[in-house]
C-alpha cells in the first residue's frame, strides 16, 4: 500500500463546491439561554410529520427550491419500454440467486420515456384509478431522503388526485406495527429540501426474519397497499428484494420497490451511478476537513486524524480527499489488498510523519474510513471471533476469556478504550458498531508510541508528535441537501410511482447520465436480483463457507480514474 500523499487545498475553490454552513441563531444571548424546543428548527421534541414553521432563514430559503425533472417525467404520463431480461452482476452466483428468488429473478430492464401519443396519454390519465402507496425510511439518514417522499407524493397526485400516500412512522418498526401518517402537502411543506429523516424517523434497518416479513405483509394487506417504497442502501434494498419475492409467492398485490439512498455511496453498479446523499455528505465533510487543514497550517504542530463514514468501502474518504487535499489518505481497499498488519499501517504513517519533519513540517491531516479497522486482517479476524461469541450469547464480561490464544493476545495489546468498544453489542445486521470504534484514536495512539520509540533510538529528530482526533460521522447526515441531491431524490420519487403503476415489483429506481444536466437524465428501473451476488465467508475455524444472495457494497476500484 502506498499512503496517498496530497498537497493542501485549504478551502474549496468556489462557493458552488461547498454546502452552506449551518444556520446561525440570531437571537440575543439572553434569549438563547432560554431556548425551548419550539425555538429550534422543526423542534427537537416535535412529533414525526407534524407541520411546523421553518425557524431558520436559511432553511426557509432552501425550502423554496423547486427540484427539476427530466422531460420524460414532466407530463401526466410516461411510456414504459421493456428491455432485455437480466441475470446477475456476478455470473457465478446466478444459479444461487435464481433458486433464492424464483418468482422475481430474470426480470427485464425497464426504461421510462415521454409518451408518443399525447391524445392517448390524456385518455389514459382520465381512466386511472386511485392507488395507495406506503413509504418507509430504512437505513442511515441521508440528505435528500425527504425529497424522495416529496417526488413520490407529487407524482402520485398527478397520477390521480384521490391517491393516498402513507408514511410509516419510526422506520421498519412502524411498518411492522402499521403506524402510519398520511402524507399531504401541508405535512411536506416544512420538509422539502431539508436534511435528516425526521419526517418519519427510522429504527432498525432490516426486514429480514420470517416474523418481520410476515408483519410487513400484514400491514400491506391491512392498508390495501398497491405499492411499498423502501428508501435505503445496500442492506435495505436486499431486504426489499426478499419482501417482494415473498409477497409474490403469497399472492399479495403490493408491489415492492427500492430507492438508492445512502450517504456511503457504496451502492454502485452498472445500473446505479450513485446514491442520494453522497454528494451532500462529501461536500459538507470536505468543508470541515478544509477548515481542519487551515487549522493545522496555522498551529503548525498537530497531526489531525479524521475518520469518515464508510463501512465496507472508502468512497466518502476518497471523494473528500479529492475535494479537500489532506496530506494522507488510508483506504480500506488498499490495506485489504496488500494484507497489511496493524503495525505495518502504523509504520507507513510514521514514515510519512518523519519525511515531513525532515522538510520542517510537523503538522498534517490524515483521512481514514470507519471501516478501515475491518480491512486489517488480524483485526477483522478478532472482530469475527467476538461476533461469534456475541451470537452464542456469551456475556460481554466473559468474551475476552473465550478468545483463541492469538486473538486474546491481540486483544490485550490494544488500548483499553478500543477493547471496550470492540465488545459493544452488534448492529441490527450482526456487524460490529464501527461508528463507535475510535479507529482514529487507535492509530494516533500507536503512531505516538512508535514516534517516541524512534526518537529514543535516534531515528527521529523532529519535534514531539502531537495529534488531534475527529470523527465526522454525524455532522453531515442532517445537512441541507445539495441541488444535485434535491433533484436526484425528487426524480427517484417520481420513478417509484411509475414503477408501481406499471406493476413492477422487486425493482430499484435508477437514473443514468447523472453527470449531465437534468434534462439529459435517463430514467429507468432495474431488478434488484440483477444487482446481487453471493459472497461466501467462514463462520469459524473449520467451518464450511456459507453465503446467500444479496446486494453487496461496491468497493473503490483501485484501477479507476478517481483513485489514480
pLDDT of residue 7: 38
pLDDT of residue 204: 73
Q: How confident is the model at residue 563 (pLDDT cuts 50, 70, 90)?
A: confident
Whether the CB-CB separation of 254 and 226 falls below 8 Å is answered with yes
% the chain with pLDDT above 90: 79
**Cell numbers 431488478 label which residue?**
527
In DSSP terms, 227 is beta-bridged to 133, 255
pLDDT confidence bin for 55, thresholds 50/70/90: confident
The torsion angle over the Cα atoms of residues 456, 458, 463 and 468, rounded to 10 degrees, is: -50
- Integer Cα distance of 550 and 540 in angstroms: 21
Residue 230's DSSP bridge partners are 136, 258
Query: How far lies 190's CA from each of 63, 90, 152, 490, 492, in Å?
Result: 7, 43, 16, 16, 20
Residue 141 vs residue 15, higher pLDDT: 141
pLDDT digits (tens, 9 = 90+) for 395-444: 999 999 999 999 999 999 999 999 999 998 877 666 778 888 999 999 99
Segment 312-318 mean pLDDT: 94
The reported pLDDT for the residue numbered 11 is 34
Q: How confident is the model at residue 541 (pLDDT cuts 50, 70, 90)?
A: very low
The three cell numbers of residue 404 are: 483463541
More confident residue, 48 or 224: 224
Domains of the chain with bracketed CATH:
71-275+481-550 (3.40.50.450), 278-472 (3.40.50.460)
C-alpha cell at 412: 490485550
pLDDT at 38 over 60: no
Which of 221-235, 383-397, 491-505 shows the lowest per-residue confidence on average (mean pLDDT)?
383-397
Decide if pLDDT at 474 tops 80. yes
**Mean pLDDT to the nearest integer, 122-127:** 69
Tens of pLDDT along 170-206?
A: 999 999 999 999 999 999 999 999 999 999 998 877 8
Grid coordinates representing 297? Answer: 497550517
Cell numbers for 318, please give them: 476518497
Extended beta strands in 347-502, E state: 364-369, 467-472
The pLDDT mean for the chain works out to: 89
Position 484 scores a pLDDT of 98
Mean pLDDT of 361-374: 96
Amino acid at each position: 500500500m502506498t499512503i496517498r500523499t496530497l498537497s493542501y487545498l485549504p478551502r474549496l475553490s468556489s462557493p458552488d463546491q461547498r454546502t452552506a454552513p449551518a444556520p446561525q441563531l440570531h437571537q440575543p444571548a439572553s434569549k438563547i439561554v432560554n431556548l425551548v424546543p419550539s425555538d429550534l428548527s422543526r423542534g427537537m421534541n416535535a412529533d414525526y410529520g407534524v407541520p411546523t414553521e421553518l425557524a431558520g432563514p436559511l432553511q426557509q430559503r432552501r425550502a423554496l427550491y423547486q427540484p427539476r425533472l427530466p422531460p420524460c417525467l414532466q407530463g401526466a404520463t410516461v411510456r414504459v419500454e421493456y428491455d432485455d431480461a437480466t441475470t446477475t452482476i456476478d455470473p457465478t452466483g446466478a444459479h444461487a440467486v435464481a433458486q433464492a428468488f424464483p418468482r422475481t429473478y430474470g426480470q427485464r430492464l425497464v426504461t421510462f420515456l415521454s409518451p408518443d401519443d399525447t391524445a392517448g396519454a390524456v385518455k389514459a390519465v382520465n381512466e386511472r384509478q386511485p392507488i395507495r402507496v406506503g413509504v418507509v425510511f430504512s437505513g442511515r439518514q441521508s440528505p435528500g431522503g425527504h425529497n424522495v417522499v416529496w417526488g413520490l407524493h407529487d407524482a402520485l397526485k398527478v397520477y390521480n388526485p384521490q391517491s393516498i400516500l402513507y408514511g410509516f412512522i419510526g422506520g421498519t418498526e412502524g411498518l411492522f406495527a402499521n403506524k402510519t401518517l398520511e402524507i399531504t402537502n401541508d405535512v411536506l411543506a416544512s420538509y422539502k429540501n431539508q436534511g435528516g429523516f425526521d419526517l418519519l424517523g427510522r429504527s432498525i434497518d432490516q426486514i429480514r426474519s420470517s416474523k418481520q416479513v410476515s408483519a410487513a405483509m400484514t400491514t400491506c394487506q391491512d392498508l390495501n397497499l398497491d405499492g411499498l417504497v423502501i428508501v435505503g442502501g445496500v442492506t435495505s434494498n436486499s431486504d426489499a428484494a426478499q419482501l417482494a419475492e415473498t409477497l409474490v409467492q403469497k399472492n399479495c398485490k403490493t408491489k415492492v420497490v427500492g430507492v438508492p439512498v445512502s450517504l456511503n455511496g457504496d451502492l454502485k453498479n452498472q445500473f446505479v451511478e450513485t446514491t442520494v446523499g453522497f454528494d451532500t455528505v462529501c461536500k459538507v465533510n470536505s468543508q470541515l476537513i478544509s477548515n481542519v487543514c487551515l487549522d493545522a497550517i496555522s498551529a503548525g504542530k498537530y497531526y489531525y486524524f479524521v475518520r469518515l463514514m464508510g463501512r465496507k468501502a472508502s468512497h466518502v474518504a476518497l471523494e473528500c480527499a479529492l475535494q479537500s487535499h489532506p496530506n494522507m489518505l488510508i483506504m480500506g481497499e488498499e490495506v485489504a489488498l496488500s494484507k497489511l498488519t496493524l503495525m505495518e499501517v502504523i509504520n507507513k504513517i510514521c514514515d510519512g510523519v518523519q519525511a515531513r519533519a525532515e522538510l520542517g513540517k510537523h503538522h498534517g491531516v490524515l483521512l481514514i474510513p470507519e471501516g478501515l479497522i475491518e480491512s486489517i486482517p488480524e483485526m477483522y479476524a478478532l472482530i469475527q471471533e467476538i461476533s461469534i461469541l456475541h451470537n452464542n450469547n456469551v456475556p460481554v464480561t466473559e468474551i475476552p476469556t473465550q478468545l483463541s490464544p492469538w486473538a486474546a493476545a491481540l486483544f490485550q495489546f490494544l488500548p483499553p478504550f478500543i477493547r471496550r468498544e470492540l465488545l459493544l453489542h452488534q448492529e441490527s445486521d450482526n456487524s460490529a458498531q464501527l461508528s463507535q470504534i475510535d479507529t482514529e484514536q487507535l492509530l494516533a495512539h500507536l503512531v505516538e508510541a512508535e514516534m517516541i520509540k524512534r526518537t529514543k533510538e535516534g531515528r527521529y529528530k523532529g519535534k514531539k508528535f502531537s495529534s488531534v482526533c475527529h470523527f465526522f460521522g454525524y455532522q453531515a447526515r442532517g445537512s441541507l441537501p445539495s441541488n444535485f441531491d434535491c433533484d436526484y431524490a425528487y426524480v427517484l420519487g417520481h420513478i417509484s410511482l411509475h414503477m408501481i403503476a406499471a406493476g413492477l415489483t422487486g425493482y430499484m429506481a435508477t437514473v443514468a447520465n447523472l453527470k449531465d444536466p437534468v434534462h439529459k437524465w435517463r430514467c429507468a428501473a432495474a431488478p434488484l436480483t440483477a444487482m446481487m451476488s453471493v459472497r461466501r465467508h467462514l463462520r469459524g475455524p473449520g467451518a464450511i463457507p456459507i453465503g446467500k444472495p444479496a446486494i453487496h457494497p461496491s468497493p473503490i476500484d483501485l484501477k479507476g480514474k478517481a483513485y489514480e
